[in-house]
């Protein structure tokens, strides 16, 4: 089984609809992240969470919200989807074992979201 899973894998929706993307992990990591990937722009950080009670905005948080329901679950919501939110969305996890702040991030398979 995959360590970081994302649901759904693909979603087509209409402008103005509320959408939730879900991420679950079995790695036991404390830190979780949401990114969006656009062609030619790489990955940009939307939100990140260091534990259930610690949630922080990334560089492009406008139009998005998140919920850390448990250490293993981190959801991303688009309250009112718009076409320029069409992108590939990735969830990632990392831990701070050993006190390291530069541990690698482990990525889910991604969710392809299309907003019409």
Task: Give the footprint of another protein on this chain (CB under 8 A).
Answer: 4, 31, 35, 40-45, 48, 50, 58, 90, 92, 94, 96, 101-105, 107-110
For residue 80, the tally of other CB atoms under 10 A from its CB is 11
Nearer to another protein (CB atom), residue 56 or residue 80: 56
> How far is Cα 56 from Cα 22, in angstroms, rounded to an integer?
17
Nearer to another protein (CB atom), residue 62 or residue 98: 98
**Shortest distance (Å) from residue 108 CB to another protein:** 5
**Shortest distance (Å) from residue 112 CB to another protein:** 9
Sequence-separated (6 or more) residues with CB below 8 Å from residue 104: 94
**Shortest distance (Å) from residue 56 CB to another protein:** 9
> How far is Cα 110 from Cα 9, in angstroms, rounded to an integer?
6
Nearer to another protein (CB atom), residue 7 or residue 80: 7
């Amino acid at each position: 089984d995959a360590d970081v899973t994302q649901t759904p894998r693909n979603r087509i929706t209409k402008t103005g609809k509320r959408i939730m993307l879900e991420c679950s992990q079995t790695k036991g990591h404390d830190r979780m992240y949401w990114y969006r990937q656009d062609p030619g722009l790489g990955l940009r950080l939307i939100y990140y969470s260091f534990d259930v009670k610690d949630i922080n905005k990334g560089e492009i948080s406008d139009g998005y919200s998140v919920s850390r329901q448990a250490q293993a679950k981190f959801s991303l919501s688009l309250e009112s989807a718009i076409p320029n939110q069409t992108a590939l969305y990735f969830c990632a996890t990392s831990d701070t074992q050993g006190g390291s702040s530069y541990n690698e991030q482990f990525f889910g398979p991604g969710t392809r979201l299309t907003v019409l």
